[in-house]
Structure 1
């Protein structure tokens, strides 16, 4: 455990935070009395996405939307001058 007065801790805050992250307990004192404790925060665990999370929307999207080419879009790209032929 590291104990340090607040005035000294101001100059060494980065070091004290690093010690706390490493698992050490850091106590800050004022007039020789404990005033605060610096501890590491447990990392928030990211929840995994749940399959079927949108089932409540009752969307009936056919697989062709995802797995077959969009002929209208391809034709629009060919007709546009966004990607002109190199000829």
Structure 2
């Protein structure tokens, strides 16, 4: 667990966010008193794989790319 003061956190914000997103717990303090803890959002593990949904869409309506009835007046 890393502890940084507010000024350090402000100066290195992008790197701190990257570190937290990888799972490191970051504590931001003021006058050596912890104020907040920066941790990754649950469910954001980065396990998405391009193409992993292939063959999950079985059919698409023939007019899928067509104009919706509600918007025909605007065309």
TM-score range relative to shorter protein: 0.5 to 0.7
More helix as a share of residues? 1
What 5-or-longer segments of structure 2 have no aligned partner?
45-61, 63-75
Q: Which secondary structure does the structure 2 equivalent of 1:34 belong to?
A: strand
In structure 2, distance between residues paired with 1:25 and 1:31: 19
Structure 2 match to 1:22? 22
- Structure 1 segments, 4+ long, off by >3 Å, are none
In structure 1, distance between residues paired with 2:3 and 2:36: 10
How far 1:10 sits from its partner (Å)?
Answer: 0.2
In structure 2, distance between residues paired with 1:8 and 1:20: 15
Structure 1 match to 2:36? 36
Cα deviations across residues 8-62 of structure 1 (Å, max 9, x unaligned)?
1101011111111110000000001000111110237xxxxxxxxxxxxxxxxxx
Structure 2 match to 1:56? none
Matches within 5 A, 1:60-79: none
What 5-or-longer segments of structure 1 have no aligned partner?
45-65, 67-87
Q: Which secondary structure does the structure 1 equivalent of 2:20 belong to?
A: helix
- State the number of aligned residues: 45
